[in-house]
Structure 1
Amino acid sequence: MAVAMASAAERAVLEEEFKWLLQEEVHAVLKQLQDILKEASHRFALPAGGAEGAAKQESFVLSTAGTDQVKGVLTLQGDALCQADVNLKMPRSNQLLHFAFREDKQWKLQQIQDARNHVNQAIYLLMKRDVNYHFKTGSEVLKLMDAVMLQLSRARNRLTTPATLTLPEIASSGLTNFKPAGGSILHNPGAMFEFGNQRYEVSHVHKVECVVPWLNDALVFFTVSLQLCQQLKDKISVFSSYWNYKPY
């Protein structure tokens, strides 16, 4: 009898703790997530500049690890690559070649647009459950966290795995004046293209990178938010170990 009473008392305490978790702590975490993701969203907002409120231009230096074969500067205007100047040193002759974007063209960076859309979708999911919303089960919270984490993971993956265009896609974009020969893939040695009525073959590949601070900030916000979601999921799941059935 004593054991049964102790078990019942313990269950009652756990049920009260679980109720407090659903009613209080969950909303506190949701508010924290909203604040963090709104900061992340602000990083994607086009910075105002000039009388007409156009996005200001930001220039970044391009670099290659351990070599000076490729040097250059690119200019971002919001989520568009509007200028790029690249100097390429030929491997054998050391001849310096210069390449630049056409002045009348811009390259919209789809991965930045996609990441911003995923962040906004995560914020929308969180704001649907305001402070007056009553979570009835832990399962409901887990489903919400899974949905938010899916959007954040997609946003992070779009920024950490840059899109690679094929030569036909580059040619059809109008950014350059060359056209591909065949269906070769960009960045693949052996790819063919034509420029100035001459046929060329890709012999070497150089990966050029630059650091965009506000995108790095966004990635940090994504990581922190994903950790908060997982911590809340872990707390919800812990209660299942105290019952033979899931209390959510």
Structure 2
Amino acid sequence: MATAMAATAAERTVLEEEFRWLLHAEVHAVLRQLQDILKEASLRFTLPGSGTEGPAKQENFILGSCSTDQVKGVLTLQGDALSQADVNLKMPRNNQLLHLAFREDKQWKLQQIQDARNHVSQAIYLLANRDENYQFKTGAEVLKLMDAVMLQLTRARNRLTTPATLTLPEIAASGLTGCSLGGRGLTPLLPQRMFAPSLPSDLLVNVYINLNKLCLTVYQLHALQPNSTKNFRPAGGSVLHSPGAMFEWGTQRLEVSHVHKVECVVPWLNDALVYFTVSLQLCQQLKDKISVFSSYWSYRPF
């Protein structure tokens, strides 16, 4: 009995020493590794005028789709903004070729990229607040820090992997389309802002990030006549609306007649997603190591 108690005491002493080493050495090693990875991730989100690196370089991406050749063109991405758009759209009804381009004085901010970058910066800030001289006193303190960092990284990843679900009126009212909805039976309501010449009144345009892709969607519309026998059901929020989706704009009822979606892969977005995944795995592994020690005691010494 005395031998068993001695063995238990000796085992407890070893475990306590290992736990102290984990708190004082390994935790900081993991924090350093996380900071290095997230600094690499943050470089992928470099913005114009940030730091001493100068403006973010312009990158041209060719739009493509395996299902349609109705839309072709190039989008120019500069940091978190689309600085140029050069898109050709073949109208299905008459094969008319339309050219869509941004005004020279306009850029379109991609809020998803902005938000992801801000969450990465917040994660780096949390990690930097615990420098090499900081002594973690309990495992609970480490778990709390890891949870806070993981929350920021999860939010950053989700902003890229989960595009916003928008209603058609929200797309129509966006600064990108600034839909006028005038002509061809549509009453003009708003000036169009981003494009020169202005978009045709029966087009809506949406741009968003989905995982590592930059996506452009063009919706063609037609007005439903007041005496239409169609059962009018306004469409709810969606990342991508289908032909037949309906909505109200002012006093008019409108329907989507055609949808064209094209996209392009942005390599550095893929890099960022990999960095997020690796960082989340490191955080979880450290949490698991901390939690393992709780199974050796009936009370929680941390």
For 1:209, what is the secondary structure of its paired residue?
strand
For 1:22, what is the secondary structure of its paired residue?
helix
Match of 2:109 in 1: 108
**Hey, what's the Cα distance between the residues in 1 that align with 2:95 and 2:14?**
76
Q: Superposed, which structure 2 residues align to 1:44-83 within 5 Å?
A: 44-46=45-47, 53-83=54-84
Indicate if the aligned counterparts of 1:64 and 1:206 stay in contact, CA closer than 8 A. no
Change (3 A) 1:61 1:191: farther
RMSD over aligned CA atoms reads 2.8
For 2:74, what is the secondary structure of its paired residue?
strand
Change (3 A) 1:83 1:14: same
**Hey, what's the Cα distance between the residues in 2 that align with 1:7 and 1:54?**
62
TM-score, length-normalised on structure 2? 0.72
Shift in Å, 1:167: 1.2
Match of 2:194 in 1: 175
Indicate if the aligned counterparts of 1:118 and 1:155 stay in contact, CA closer than 8 A. yes
Identity of aligned residues (%): 73
Summarize deviations over 1:122-145 as a string: whole Å, max 9, x none. Answer: 011001011111101100000000
Q: Superposed, which structure 2 residues align to 1:130-169 within 5 Å?
A: 130-163=131-164, 164=166, 166-169=171-174
Summarize deviations over 1:62-91 as a string: whole Å, max 9, x none. Answer: 122333232221011221111112222344
Number of equivalenced pairs: 241
Q: Which has the higher helix share?
A: 1
Specify every segment of 5 or more residues in structure 1 that has no aligned partner in the other structure, as ranges: none
Shift in Å, 1:174: 1.8
Shift in Å, 1:17: 0.6
**Whose relative contact order is higher, 1 or 2, with alpha carbons under 8 Å and at least 6 apart?**
1
Summarize deviations over 1:203-228 as a string: whole Å, max 9, x none. Answer: 12233211111121111111110110
Summarize deviations over 1:27-65 as a string: whole Å, max 9, x none. Answer: 0000000111111111111378xxx94433211011223
TM-score, length-normalised on structure 1? 0.86
Shift in Å, 1:161: 2.1
Paired letter, 2:12: R
Match of 1:128 in 2: 129
Paired letter, 2:286: L
Change (3 A) 1:54 1:137: closer
Change (3 A) 1:106 1:193: farther
Specify every segment of 5 or more residues in structure 2 that has no aligned partner in the other structure, as ranges: 179-189, 205-222, 224-233
